[in-house]
Amino acid sequence: MRSVVGMAALLLAALVCMDASAMCGGGGMVSGGGRGISVSGASGARASARPEKKLDKAALPAAAEIASLDTAVFDRTVTALKLSDEQLKRIDAAKAEIRDVLQTLAKQQAEARGAYQKSADAQAYLEAARNVTSTASACKNYDPNRKFESALMSVLSLEQRVKYRELSRQS
């Protein structure tokens, strides 16, 4: 019985010493190079022994699907529309611009999802989650085919528009 009380007292003394060390920043006393004794900084074992609090992140849903540009109807009707070189150039520029936007959206979505996975603290996590949501929304809302049709209609003359609509209904 006496040894149990002695062990409990020894354990209590050790805990008190560790708490005192922690209150001082865990540094304790260090020799100051002949100028007496000074207290060291907070680099004790207690500070590094504390486990890092891991951030619990929600699993990401599947990446938003990005619509693809479908110009098949236009490609079938291009010869019948008798487009000028200037019109073809403007249509090709519109296609290139739409493809660039699609690539940018895909890249932004991948980067946002990667930043979300790498986020380490709550602030970065929330910002990354907002970014994932906004890029997914941008991907879902971008309609490359509607954008192409709009660009195409701005390039075609009235007669060419009528012809295009007739030919696209037949396809």
**Rounded to whole angstroms, how far apart are CA atoms 24 and 21?**
5
State the pLDDT confidence band at 49, using cuts at 50, 70 and 90: low
Burial of residue 41 (CB within 10 Å: 0-12, 13-18, 19+) is exposed
Identify the H or E element spanning 37.
strand 37-39
**In this model, does residue 34 exceed pLDDT 60?**
no
Give the residue with greater pLDDT, 20 vs 95: 95
Predicted pLDDT at 50: 55
Sign of CA dihedral 72, 78, 79, 85: negative
CA angle 52, 55, 58 (to 5 degrees): 160
Query: Where does 24-155 have alpha helices with state H?
Result: 45-49, 72-81, 85-118, 122-141, 144-155
**In this model, does residue 35 exceed pLDDT 60?**
no
Listed range (43-47, 108-112, 143-147) with the worst mean pLDDT: 43-47
Predicted pLDDT at 51: 55
Predicted pLDDT at 120: 87
User: In the chain, what are the domain boundaries?
Assistant: 2-49, 72-170
**Rounded to whole angstroms, how far apart are CA atoms 30 and 36?**
9
Predicted pLDDT at 53: 62
Beta carbons within 8 Å of 164's beta carbon, 6+ residues apart:
74, 77, 81, 152, 156
State the pLDDT confidence band at 56, using cuts at 50, 70 and 90: confident
State the pLDDT confidence band at 57, using cuts at 50, 70 and 90: confident
Average pLDDT over residues 73-91: 95
Average pLDDT over residues 58-80: 91
pLDDT tens figures, 123-147: 988 999 999 999 999 999 999 999 9
Distances (CA, A) of 19 to 39, 41, 53: 16, 16, 21
